[in-house]
Amino acid sequence: MSSIIQNNQVFNNEVPFCKVYSMESKKQLEERLLAHRISYFIEWQDKSILQRLFDRDGKKIVCTFKINKGDLIKAKELSHGIEGIKYKDYGELKNTERIRRRSEAVKEQGTGLEMPELKFENKPGTNRGE
């Protein structure tokens, strides 16, 4: 009898979503993600010496939000309009939207697997059935 649980399986669908550069933007993004039940992880980057010198207020930060790959589209829509965010470029987002739209269109129009009606033509000079 074999076990369903295998030790060598790794389920890591966490991807970098965006970089945030201000505390206010970070708070807004956190509130929106939590309100819509999107889990996230914040990875903090250390400031360089120049950033420390020029940031006297301490309001500027650099952190990366990491979220589940499946929530990328929803999180992008939620975070639209928040200033101080630089998104990670994922070209496949457009492709997944296109694929989803195609599949929705197929559901509306039908599966496309219906059998067409067969038509037989009688050619002149051939006598079928005689």
Walk across the sheet containing 85-87 and list its strands: 40-44, 60-68, 14-22, 85-87
* Location of structure tokens 């101080």: 84
**Is 30 a domain residue?**
yes
Confidence class of residue 124 from pLDDT cuts 50, 70 and 90? confident
Q: Cα–Cα–Cα angle for 42, 56, 29, nearest 5°?
A: 30
pLDDT tens string 7-47: 666 667 889 999 998 889 999 999 999 999 999 999 998 87
Q: How confident is the model at residue 49 (pLDDT cuts 50, 70, 90)?
A: confident
Range of the domain at 41: 14-109
DSSP string, 77-97: HHHTT-SSEEEPP-THHHHHH
Q: Is residue 27 part of a domain?
A: yes
pLDDT at 119 over 50: yes
Q: What is the pTM of this model?
A: 0.58
Structural domain contains residue 125:
no
- Non-local (6+) Cβ contacts of 47 within 8 A are 55, 62
Q: Indicate the number of domains in the chain.
A: 1
List the CATH number of the domain containing 79. Answer: 3.30.70
How far apart, in whole angstroms, are the C-alpha atoms of residue 80 and residue 36? 14
Report if residue 104 sits inside a domain: yes
Residue 7 domain-assigned (yes or no): no
Residue 122 falls inside a structural domain: no
Considering the domain boundaries, does residue 56 fall inside one? yes
pLDDT tens digits along 87-114? 888 765 554 544 455 555 555 555 555 5
Quote the pLDDT of residue 91: 67
- Total number of residues shown for the chain: 130
